[in-house]
């Protein structure tokens, strides 16, 4: 039922959104179709097709294949390919469930096809299926005690559960966001709302905490926040707010460049952290209310 | 809507009719040498850049010697040109669309051909001929699109006086390479089934090979067309399509196999001695939810050889069994005439997106080497006896999140590698990234396309350029870029011992191919295609693209 409602909601909500969206990817080439005809098609689909092909057209328990990726459905024009199969039924070449014939009149076939195409139209980019209602998934599978032991051994030199991480489980109630934040080392937003996490912070933004010290010939040292660095140039902003930029192989000679990345420990962590330990620490942090 | 939709057969018919006319016209003209005879494509890469990889080997090793490690510091800008998609002026057009599809900026993300001083550049729906001496446009062809994903175009091919290219809405278009006017076009895949086409066609004799892309659970295939008429010679599906097809036992059902992906979207290489075309295939679908396609999923993520006469598979080697990370093995392989255990061998090597390097016997497909070239890859439980990395199910998308290296883009991607036969070194961009991969659609039927997951990108452990000994897969040298965050666009090496690459930070860099020392650089922006080199009027040019800009460098 959940899936059925989701499909229904997706279909009902879609002509409005879709009309405004540019045809950015192949599923949208055909346009949303006629909503009145599609609505009639949904009624027919529910009666004749849903039991085998599923409420969301992605295949059903009774063995009907996924229609959203069916080459026959995708290539159909106004029922010209769907109609003959509906009327004649089908015996799959490689075995499987036999589709019985259903003698529907032309206008019903047309409505059915319109409905199917309207659902295909709601597909997401890169072939992903139409959106469905959020499924409650349990991400909290770790052992909090094991996570606490790991935290004390590996994290406590920089972080404190009574300091920077006090109440982190309440401040970041979304488990996925909490895990993404602590593994990456990105600071959580002041009050992250529940629900799906927001856009990922770019690597560039994450680097803004990196500090760099440039040592010039003669011993002068310039320190500040790293702006950018490649093999040829290193640029920084000093604590006084001055932009300084150096040619690494120029004059005065840059003798040394030292980078202090507070997230270096996190990067090192990625190479050794197991999924289990990651989930354990997440469970531990989630419990810090 | 009354617009007649032509079938492939009808289109081929139209193409035949058109070509008949063209042939008749040509027959009256005095016989002149064609711009590029197919036989010339067999020449090792030197003066001209005649096909996607420069020659059939995929080595991107130029025999030009004017630019050397000693004088590369004198390389200077010969010209820079912004490639314009502006349709005002004298633009030849073709296409089945209404002309209402938005025209975007040009994007140099593939090979620019060079023949007799003229460059041929492409972008989705566009082809330009450009004078290689000064970068001025000679002609511009525009294809009115029916739509589709305009993700990129990897270049064109030339057969005699025809230039052939693919369009996002799945046509192979032949235009007159001298004038930019269309000869014919044929449909190569169905837009309604959500195919889109980006590949640079490859000409072998009078055949032109084309591939296509698709993210929606559709079968992949390689096709051969007659370069003269546009008539299809053969189609080779990369997944089982019928009961009894080889590989079907690596899928739970025929339905799963027929929706199993394995797209062919990067050009392969050709061995004239064996008449084998060797290429690699894309990911299985659904991409991230393997539950509905248990098994190895042949022939997705596979390096395979196809006989050009028959279109039949001669051998295969799957470099990523049962991929669940969208790590297409769609990288251009490299033909190497090498020595293994003291014996001369005919080899093919590939560095796959999944982070493993492979060397095989290119005549038989016999496995010789597997070695990781990703520094942080963590998704495999180890190698099978066959040398194939065994996936760790724990490192697929899982509900509570899996910490996976690399992220979707892979350790490397389509930007091509290079091989220097003088040094025996295979060069590849190496990107060591991490993400946390969450399964968001636990439906036992699996998801579709690349759906059903969400990721959080953690960042890069490092980005580097790696030189690999093809005989054992070991790194001979490795240069880590300080903060590079992309793969640099592809590689070029030369007989004088140079290696050209982007550094991921907007610099175009020349390195010593022996040891990776930096010899020259210029900051022109993020390199978007592999560097190339050719000779015009006695001068060696080094060409590279940055978005809609082309830069040509030379020594004066």
Residue-wise pLDDT tens digits, B309-321: 999 999 999 999 9
Looking at CA atoms only, how far is residue B292 from chain A in angstroms? Answer: 11
Question: Which range among B399-403, B417-421, B503-507 shows the weakest confidence by mean pLDDT?
Answer: B503-507
B461 closest CB neighbour out of A126, A176, A267: A267
Cis status, amide bond into B539, omega within 30 of 0: no
Residue A9 has pLDDT above 60, yes or no: no
Would you state the structure tokens that stand for residue B491, as one six-digit string?
């590689």
Chain B residue with minimum CA distance to A185: B458
**Among B409, B411, B406, which Cα is nearest to B378's?**
B406
A112-140 mean pLDDT: 92
Question: Which range among A202-211, B8-17, B43-52 shows the weakest confidence by mean pLDDT?
Answer: B8-17
Residue B16 has pLDDT above 50, yes or no: no
Residue B76 dihedral angles phi and psi, to the nearest 5°: -140, 165
Length of chain A: 289
Contact B221, B234 (CB under 8 A): no
- Binning pLDDT at 50, 70 and 90, where does residue B484 land? low
Question: Which range among A68-77, A193-202, B467-476 shows the weakest confidence by mean pLDDT?
Answer: A193-202
- Binning pLDDT at 50, 70 and 90, where does residue A203 land? very low
* B212 vs B199: CA distance, rounded Å: 7
Between positions 194 and 213 of A, the ones with CB within 8 A of B are 196-197, 200, 203-204, 206-207
Per-residue pLDDT of B108-122, as tens digits, reads: 999 999 999 999 999
Chain A residue with minimum CA distance to B289: A128
What are the structural domain ranges in chain B? 8-554
- Contact of A264 with chain B, judged by CB distance below 8 Å, is answered with no
| pLDDT confidence of residue A29 | 77
- Binning pLDDT at 50, 70 and 90, where does residue A188 land? low
B418-445 mean pLDDT: 96
- Contact of A111 with chain B, judged by CB distance below 8 Å, is answered with no
B3-14 mean pLDDT: 42
Contact B381, B391 (CB under 8 A): yes
Contact B192, A75 (CB under 8 A): yes
Q: Max Cα separation, chain A?
A: 92
B84-102 mean pLDDT: 91
The CA distances from residue B156 to A147, A243, B42, B131, in Å, are 55, 46, 17, 16
- Contact of A137 with chain B, judged by CB distance below 8 Å, is answered with yes
A141-146 mean pLDDT: 98
Contact B467, B497 (CB under 8 A): no
**Among A146, A62, B5, B543, which Cα is nearest to B551's?**
B543
- Contact of B394 with chain A, judged by CB distance below 8 Å, is answered with yes
Q: Is B456–A135 a contact, with Cβ atoms under 8 angstroms apart?
A: no
Spell out where B264-392 has E strands.
269-271, 276-280, 302-307, 313-318, 334-340, 343-351, 356-361, 367-372, 380-383, 389-391
Would you state the structure tokens that stand for residue A85, as one six-digit string?
């199969």
- Contact of A122 with chain B, judged by CB distance below 8 Å, is answered with no
Q: How many CB pairs under 8 A join A and B?
A: 188
- Binning pLDDT at 50, 70 and 90, where does residue B485 land? low
* A37 vs A91: CA distance, rounded Å: 29
Range B8-554: architecture per CATH? 8 Propeller (2.140)
Residue A125 dihedral angles phi and psi, to the nearest 5°: -60, 160
Chain B residue with minimum CA distance to A128: B451
* A20 vs B63: CA distance, rounded Å: 54
Cis status, amide bond into A252, omega within 30 of 0: yes
Q: Which residues pair with B357 in a beta bridge?
A: B351, B371
* B242 vs B237: CA distance, rounded Å: 10
Residue A28 dihedral angles phi and psi, to the nearest 5°: -95, 5
Residue A197 has pLDDT above 70, yes or no: no
Residue A24 has pLDDT above 70, yes or no: no
B126-155 mean pLDDT: 96
Which residues fall within 8 angstroms of residue A197, CB to CB, at 6 or more apart? A174, A176, A177, A180, B456
Which residues fall within 8 angstroms of residue B91, CB to CB, at 6 or more apart? B140, B141, B142
Q: Is A176–B481 a contact, with Cβ atoms under 8 angstroms apart?
A: no
Looking at CA atoms only, how far is residue B461 from chain A in angstroms? Answer: 6
**Among B326, B349, B470, B334, which Cα is nearest to B406's?**
B326
| pLDDT confidence of residue B491 | 98
Per-residue pLDDT of A214-248, as tens digits, reads: 999 999 999 999 999 999 999 999 999 999 999 99
- Binning pLDDT at 50, 70 and 90, where does residue A63 land? confident
| pLDDT confidence of residue A208 | 67
Residue B349 has pLDDT above 50, yes or no: yes
How much of chain B exceeds pLDDT 70, in percent? 94
Residues of A in contact with B395 (CB under 8 A): 275
Which residues fall within 8 angstroms of residue A287, CB to CB, at 6 or more apart? A144, A169
* The 3-state secondary structure of chain A, one letter per residue: CHHHHHHHHHHHHHHHHHHHCCCCCHHHCCCCCCHHHHHHHHHHHHHHCHHHHCCCCCCCCCCCCCCCCCHHHHHCCCCCCHHHHHHHCECCCCCCCCECCCCCCHHHHHHHHHHHHHHHCCCCHHHCCCCCCCCCCCCCCCCHHHHHHHHHHHHCCCCCCCCCCCCHHHHCCCHHHHHHHHHHCCCCCCCCCCCCCCCCCCHHHHHHHCEEEEEECCCCEEEEEEEEECCCEEEEEECCCCEEEEECCCCCCEEEEEEECCCHHHHHHHCCCCHHHHHHHHHHHHCCC
Residue B402 has pLDDT above 50, yes or no: yes
Between strands B425-439 and B402-404, the pairing is: antiparallel
Would you state the structure tokens that stand for residue B556, as one six-digit string?
């004066």
| pLDDT confidence of residue B30 | 57
Mean pLDDT, chain B, whole residue set: 93
Residue B412 has pLDDT above 70, yes or no: yes
Residue A7 has pLDDT above 60, yes or no: no
- Binning pLDDT at 50, 70 and 90, where does residue A282 land? very high
- Binning pLDDT at 50, 70 and 90, where does residue A25 land? low
* A286 vs A144: CA distance, rounded Å: 9
Residue A206 has pLDDT above 90, yes or no: no
| pLDDT confidence of residue A196 | 43
The yes or no reply on domain A2-127 and CATH 2.40.10 is no
**Which residue carries 């927001």 as its tokens?**
A198
**Which residue carries 């929706």 as its tokens?**
B259
Helix (H) or strand (E) holding B533: strand B532-536
Three-state secondary structure call for residue B74: helix
Q: Is B401–A176 a contact, with Cβ atoms under 8 angstroms apart?
A: yes
CATH of A211-260, one of 3.30.720, 3.30.420, 3.10.290, 2.30.30: 2.30.30
Looking at CA atoms only, how far is residue A266 from chain B in angstroms? Answer: 9
Q: Is A231–B440 a contact, with Cβ atoms under 8 angstroms apart?
A: no
pTM of the full predicted structure?
A: 0.91
- Binning pLDDT at 50, 70 and 90, where does residue B29 land? low
Cis status, amide bond into B286, omega within 30 of 0: yes
What are the structural domain ranges in chain A? 2-127, 144-201+266-286, 211-260
Looking at CA atoms only, how far is residue A279 from chain B in angstroms? Answer: 7
Query: What value, to the nearest 5°, has the Cα angle with vertex B361 and ends B358 and B365?
Result: 85
């Amino acid at each position: 039922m959940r899936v059925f409602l989701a499909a229904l909601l997706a279909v009902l909500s879609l002509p409005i959104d879709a009309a405004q969206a540019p045809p950015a990817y192949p599923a949208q080439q055909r346009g949303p179709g006629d909503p009145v005809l599609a609505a009639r098609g949904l009624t027919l689909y529910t009666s004749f097709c849903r039991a085998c092909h599923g409420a969301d057209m992605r295949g059903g328990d009774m063995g009907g294949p996924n229609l959203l990726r069916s080459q026959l459905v995708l290539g159909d024009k106004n029922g010209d390919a769907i109609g003959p199969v509906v009327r004649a039924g089908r015996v799959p070449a490689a075995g499987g469930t036999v589709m019985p014939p259903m003698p529907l009149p032309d206008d019903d076939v047309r409505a059915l096809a319109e409905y199917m195409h309207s659902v295909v139209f709601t597909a997401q980019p890169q072939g992903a299926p139409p959106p469905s209602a959020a499924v409650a998934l349990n991400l909290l599978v770790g052992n909090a005690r094991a996570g606490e032991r790991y935290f004390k051994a590996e994290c406590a030199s920089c972080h404190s559960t009574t300091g920077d991480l006090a109440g982190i489980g309440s401040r970041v109630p979304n488990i996925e966001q909490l895990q993404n934040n602590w593994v990456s080392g990105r600071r959580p937003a002041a009050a992250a709302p529940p629900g799906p996490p927001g856009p990922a912070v770019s690597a560039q933004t994450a680097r803004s905490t990196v500090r760099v010290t440039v040592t010039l010939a003669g011993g002068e040292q310039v320190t500040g926040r790293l702006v950018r660095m490649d093999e040829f140039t290193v640029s920084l902003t000093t604590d006084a707010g001055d932009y300084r930029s150096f040619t690494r192989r120029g004059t005065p000679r840059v003798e040394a460049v030292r980078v202090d990345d507070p997230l270096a420990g996190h990067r090192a962590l990625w190479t050794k952290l197991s999924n289990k330990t990651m989930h354990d620490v997440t469970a531990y942090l989630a419990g810090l209310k | 809507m009354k617009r007649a939709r032509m079938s492939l057969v009808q289109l081929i018919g139209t193409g035949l009719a058109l070509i008949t006319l063209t042939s008749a016209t040509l027959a009256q003209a005095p016989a002149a040498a064609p711009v590029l005879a197919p036989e010339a494509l067999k020449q090792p890469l030197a003066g001209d850049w005649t096909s996607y990889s420069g020659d059939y080997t995929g080595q991107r090793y130029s025999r030009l010697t004017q630019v050397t490690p000693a004088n590369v510091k004198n390389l200077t800008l010969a010209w820079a040109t912004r490639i314009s998609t502006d349709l005002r002026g004298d633009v030849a057009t073709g296409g089945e669309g209404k002309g209402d599809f938005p025209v975007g900026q040009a994007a140099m993300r593939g090979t620019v051909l060079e023949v007799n001083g003229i460059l041929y550049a492409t972008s989705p729906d566009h082809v330009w001929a450009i004078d290689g001496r000064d970068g001025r446009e000679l002609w511009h062809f525009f294809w009115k699109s029916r739509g589709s994903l305009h993700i990129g175009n990897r270049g064109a091919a030339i057969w005699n006086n025809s230039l052939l290219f693919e369009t996002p809405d799945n046509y192979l278009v032949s235009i007159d390479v001298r004038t930019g006017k269309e000869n014919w076009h044929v449909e190569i895949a169905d837009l309604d089934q959500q195919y889109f086409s980006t590949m640079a066609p490859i000409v072998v004799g009078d055949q032109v090979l084309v591939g296509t892309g698709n993210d929606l659970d559709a079968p992949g295939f390689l096709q051969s067309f007659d370069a003269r008429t546009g008539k299809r010679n053969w189609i080779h599906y990369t997944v089982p399509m019928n009961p009894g097809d080889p590989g079907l036992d690596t899928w739970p059902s025929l339905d799963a196999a027929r929706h199993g992906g394995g797209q062919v979207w990067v050009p392969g290489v050709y061995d004239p001695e064996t008449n084998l075309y060797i290429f690699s295939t894309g990911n299985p679908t659904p991409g991230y939810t393997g539950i509905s396609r248990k098994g190895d999923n042949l022939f997705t993520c596979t390096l395979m050889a196809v006989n050009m006469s028959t279109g039949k598979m001669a051998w295969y080697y799957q470099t990523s069994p049962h991929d669940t990370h969208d790590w297409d093995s769609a990288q251009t392989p490299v033909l190497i005439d090498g020595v293994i255990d003291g014996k001369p061998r005919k080899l093919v090597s590939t560095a796959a997106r999944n982070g493993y390097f492979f060397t095989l016997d290119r005549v038989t497909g016999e496995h010789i080497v597997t070695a990781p070239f990703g520094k942080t890859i963590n998704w495999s439980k180890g190698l099978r006896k066959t040398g194939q990395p065994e996936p760790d199910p724990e490192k697929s998308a899982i509900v509570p999140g899996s910490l996976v290296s690399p992220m979707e883009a892979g350790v490397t991607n389509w930007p091509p590698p290079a091989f220097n036969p003088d040094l025996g070194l295979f060069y590849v961009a190496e990107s060591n990234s991490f993400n946390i991969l969450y399964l968001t659609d636990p439906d036992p039927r699996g998801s579709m396309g690349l759906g059903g997951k969400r990721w959080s990108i953690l960042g890069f452990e490092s980005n580097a350029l790696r030189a690999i000994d093809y005989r054992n897969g070991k790194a001979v040298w490795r240069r880590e870029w300080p903060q590079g965050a992309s793969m640099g666009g592809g590689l070029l090496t030369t007989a004088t011992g140079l290696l050209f690459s982007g550094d991921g930070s907007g610099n175009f860099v020349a390195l010593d191919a022996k040891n990776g020392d930096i010899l020259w650089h210029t900051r022109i922006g993020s390199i978007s295609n592999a560097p190339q080199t050719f000779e015009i009027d006695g001068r060696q040019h080094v060409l590279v693209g940055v978005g809609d800009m082309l830069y040509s460098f030379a020594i004066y």
